[in-house]
Amino acid sequence: MYLHPFSADYWRSAARELKDLRKLIFAALMIAMCVVLSRIPSVPLFGGAKITWGFLARSVCALVCGPVLGLLFGFAEDILSFSLTGGGGYPFFPGYTLTTMLGVLTYALFFYRAKVTIGRVFLAKLLTNIQNVVLGALWMAILTGKAWYVTASASALKNLIMLPVQTLLLVVLIGALLPVLRRTGLIDRSLPTKIR
């Protein structure tokens, strides 16, 4: 267990995950799960916000696989998801791949080999939502020519509405999975199995 990701041991440990066949298989399963979750209809909230489900598999992969394998997972997942779904009518744009990779990296920095708490889950989700707003508006400005602040302000409101719901979903999911992941040896046995 690490208190923070700012140590060489943390990154050496994360890099070793690339050689762990079980972690590689788990990452591949999470890519498949992202594809499956993309087929589940989103749940509309108010203000135009809607809950989609891919962030759940991305965060679990980050928790188990860490930041190094997580970055590769984010790249592969975005490319494969786009290839299978056609991008929802949008052309392929590498900025969205970067956003996915950055999101998985953020989850990994908060969850991998760390004591997962409600505060950590909230901060990880808050940061990924901020990344989605800032980068998503930038990519839309590049692709469509819309003013960045127009897209960012609408996206910020939607992400603010989604934040508590997404945080709750992550707390419930991770809380349910921690004992199973520890029992199967996919996470370190010294990690607590409850979110506080």
pLDDT tens track for 148-192: 998 899 999 999 999 999 999 999 999 999 999 999 999 988 888
**Confidence tier at 26 by pLDDT (50, 70, 90):** very high
In a domain, 124, yes or no: no
Angle ∠(110,113,115) on CA atoms, nearest 5? 65
Span 37-66, mean pLDDT?
Answer: 93
Residue 62 lies in a domain: yes
Q: How far is CA 98 from CA 43, 53, 67, 75, 135, in A?
A: 25, 19, 14, 7, 9
Asked, for residue 71, whether it belongs to a domain, the answer is: yes
Name which residue leads in pLDDT, 145 or 18. 18
CATH number where 52 lies? 1.10.1760.20
| Count of structural domains, the chain | 1
pTM of the predicted model as reported, rounded to 2 decimal places: 0.94
In a domain, 114, yes or no: yes
Say what percent of the chain tops pLDDT 90: 78
What is residue 48's DSSP assignment? G
Determine, yes or no, domain membership for 194: no
Task: Centre a 10 Å sphere on the Cβ of residue 112 and count the other Cβ atoms it contains.
Answer: 26
Does 51 reside within a domain? Answer: yes
The residue range of the domain holding 46 is: 8-118+169-183
Rounded Cα gap, residues 124 and 107, in angstroms: 6
Contacts of residue 126, Cβ cutoff 8 Å, sequence gap at least 6: 163
